[in-house]
Amino acid sequence: MFTRVLVANRGEIAVRILRTLRKMGIESVTVHSDAEADAVHVRAADQAVCIGPGPVSESYLRIDRVLDVARRTGAQAVHPGYGLLAENPEFAEACERAGLVFIGPTPEAIRVMGSKIEARRAMSEAGVPVVPGALEPVSGGDHALALADSIGYPIAAKASGAGGGKGFRVARDPGELPGAVEGARSEGERFFADPTVYLERYLDDPRHIEVQLLGDTHGNVVHLFERDCTIQRRHQKLVEEAPAPRLPEPLRTRIGELAITAAKAIGYHSAGTVEGLLAGDEFFFLEMNTRIQVEHCVTEMVTGINLVEQQVRVAAGERLSFGQADLRLDGHAIECRINAENAAKHFLPAPGTISGYQEPRGAHVRVDSGVGEGSAVLPFYDPMIAKLIVWGEDRATATDRMLRALDEFRIDGVTTLLPFHRALLASDQWRRAESCRDLLEDRAWLKQTARHE
């Protein structure tokens, strides 16, 4: 087992990883920008080193500086968390060249799944159903129109290397297609340095279902059941729950088996997530995230498995200590992402300084946070400042517990999504386990969430 690990991230995920390292008796090192010299993740580490100015391109994304810190501090392995460098195959390769263990999958697996076109091809060859669409990139306007005609409208234009809701546009008829392709291309190039775009059928109102996977370097792969991440704004998740509501057991089993097939097809190890769309009883592969997910906490709550600890153990060469038959679902868990955003103003980012902060407490209530009183929520970084997770014997009990926890959560000085979550989880649509898309697209309803302050 490692004696010292560098955490190449920030915010709540860095804090969460650092706590697990401490629990495992492993010394920790973390990095930070000069804008976050007094951040919670800095104080949570055994050692912290500044690697540059506030913008991520000058600090957290600087591979050379991260590796220099690892070398100077004697770290043996690097945990990338999520976002930033987590799905960068060049970073994983650079770690290997530097004699460091990358706590994640192989660079080859990251590279295959980092390209949505390559991922679709690999999954099609493995017999995993993909959303109907093209397995080739768009080469021009006429080509796009011809592909769209063969696929059928509405069409989703997607940047091949994108993620997190970026590089995604919908065209409902041929007139909208050029703008959709150009929008996806532009965001793919701007955010991911990859202008490649492909087309697939846009499915109206599907459930967004994802499967948590764990694999070791000895060929063992298990799934830890599924999560429902349907509630999103601009294709970015807001609420997640496990298990997925109203999912028949035979379909749950089939989706889990498909996810394992997907992982084995690329020789996957570490934690990973197969994301898909569920339309009726048809499950279609969407993408694979080759890292720990933001919403991994709900899986931990219903399985009792510490996913970050398992990542570290797998990276150290250990076999999984459990098989598929050992895993059971217990109860229901819900996670609300507490972002510094104003839902009443269509989720406008709301940076600022937190003047008061008090987390909810009680049995089966968990808060993963990277802030506290006095913390600055900076425009350089993701607006998510905390995750509130609860567990209950069933979905109704978990919902009631979440509503109580939301009422007890106090964050002063910045506008957050706390009132939005209170309104959403109190809605009839949530209680009926609907997609809630009607609410999220209703500007009048969003404005009314301000009343829940």
Catalytic residues: 291
Beta-sheet pairing, 282-289 with 332-339: unpaired
The position carrying tokens 């008061």 is: 356
Report how far Cα 282 is from the mean position of its chain's Cα atoms. Answer: 23
Contact at 8 Å (CB) between 155 and 170? yes
Contact at 8 Å (CB) between 179 and 188? no
Q: Is the alpha carbon torsion for 135, 141, 143, 148 positive or negative?
A: positive
Contact at 8 Å (CB) between 201 and 133? yes
b/e per residue 117-135 (b: at least 16 CB within 10 A):
bbbbebbeeeebebbebbe
- 85 φ, ψ (degrees, to nearest 5): -95, 5
Closest to 332 (Cα-Cα) out of 394, 403, 239:
394
The position carrying tokens 């997907």 is: 262
Helical ranges in 165-306 per DSSP H: 177-192, 249-265, 296-303
How far, in Å, CA of 305 to CA of 324, rounded? 13
Secondary structure E strands in 33-107: 47-50, 77-79, 101-102
The H or E element spanning position 277 is strand 270-279
How far, in Å, CA of 293 to CA of 18, rounded? 16
Contact at 8 Å (CB) between 34 and 9? no
